[in-house]
Structure 1
Amino acid sequence: MEEQSEVIEACLQKWDFNWLLHRATQRVGAAYSDEIAKFGISLRGQLVLQTLANEEIQRTQLKLGAMLGLDKTTLTSELDKLERAGLIVRVPDPNDRRVRTPVITDKGRELQKEAGDALAEVERAFHSRFSPEEMAIIRKALQDLSRGEGPVHGSCI
């Protein structure tokens, strides 16, 4: 175990920006994935539920996918899982039968709230490593990087 720690420390010292971001994403993502799995959904599922729970405006599947950075196939698969679990329903558009609008159910809203609270605890654990000032700098830096120019490939999660 000590040998593995030495290898990780040596890698951290390389200061390769891409590697550091990737490694940090792996650590944070693993913590979130482990927690959300307790609720029987994925991080993508939670992202969809959170968006549906917080949006006053109903969005078609196409608009929801664009907003979340999820391609059509990925979003459809996730919506299928959420619908089978009774967490959402897809309502047909009265003007175009090809268009569906995902709507969160009461069961979905309840699960999203519980899962969201649990994930907030995971986030607080990461925040506790930093001062409020450091967290403000980290958040701003990540927001700035997220707004960067150039193409964005793949799903956001």
Structure 2
Amino acid sequence: MEHMEEQPELVEACLQKWDINWLLHRAAQRVGAAFAEEITKFGVSLRGQLVLQALATEEAQRTQLKLGAMLGLDKTTLTSELDKLERAGLVMRVPDPNDRRVRTPMITDKGLELQKKAGDALAEVERAFHSRFTPQEMAILRKALQDLSLGDGPIHGSCI
């Protein structure tokens, strides 16, 4: 694939032939790589930023189990990410007063500050991708991706 990167005419020919799954995967790789490069400046991972972003919203203040389901992160992956964020002072896990086995992750003030700065930086990265499209094309793309994301059947694996 690296060889194709050097020859734009081959990339274009390849893009004409491949199925939607391949195209979506390649597009996600491009966007993901740009996001990953930017987020490293803030000392968190893309998953960490995803968790912080979810915790920064009122509706996301829920148990670890519910947070994982909402984000598409399995229990092990979410626990590992929360451990890292907690060590960095960005989140804390509060025991449920009714069930000591249940913990609710909460974002700290430090986490809110970092999430805001990182979120603003990632929004700039996203705007660079948006600039390739007209506002109408972007609305169609967003709607198409939302529709594809809401398909029937189980989803396996992490969302990021």
Shift of 1:137: 0.3
Q: Deviations over 1:126-153 (max 9, x none)?
A: 0000000000000000000000011100
Unaligned segments of structure 1, at least 5 residues = none
* Structure 2 counterparts to residues 14-25 of structure 1, below 5 A: 14-25=17-28
Take 1:72 and 1:53, find their aligned partners in 2: how far apart are those partners? Answer: 20
* Structure 2 counterparts to residues 66-77 of structure 1, below 5 A: 66-77=69-80
Take 1:138 and 1:102, find their aligned partners in 2: how far apart are those partners? Answer: 33
**2:104 is the alignment partner of 1:140:** no
Q: What count of residue pairs does the alignment treat as equivalent?
A: 157
Amino acid across the alignment from 2:77 = T
Residue 81 of structure 2: which of 78, 81, 104 is its match?
78
* Structure 2 counterparts to residues 19-98 of structure 1, below 5 A: 19-56=22-59, 58-98=61-101
**2:151 is the alignment partner of 1:110:** no
Partner of 2:7: 4
Determine helix, strand or coil for the equivalent of 1:13: helix
**Percent of paired sites with the same residue:** 84
Take 1:148 and 1:26, find their aligned partners in 2: how far apart are those partners? Answer: 21
Take 2:124 and 2:74, find their aligned partners in 1: how far apart are those partners? Answer: 29
Instruction: Report the TM-score when normalising by structure 1.
Output: 0.95
Compute the RMSD of aligned alpha carbons: 1.4
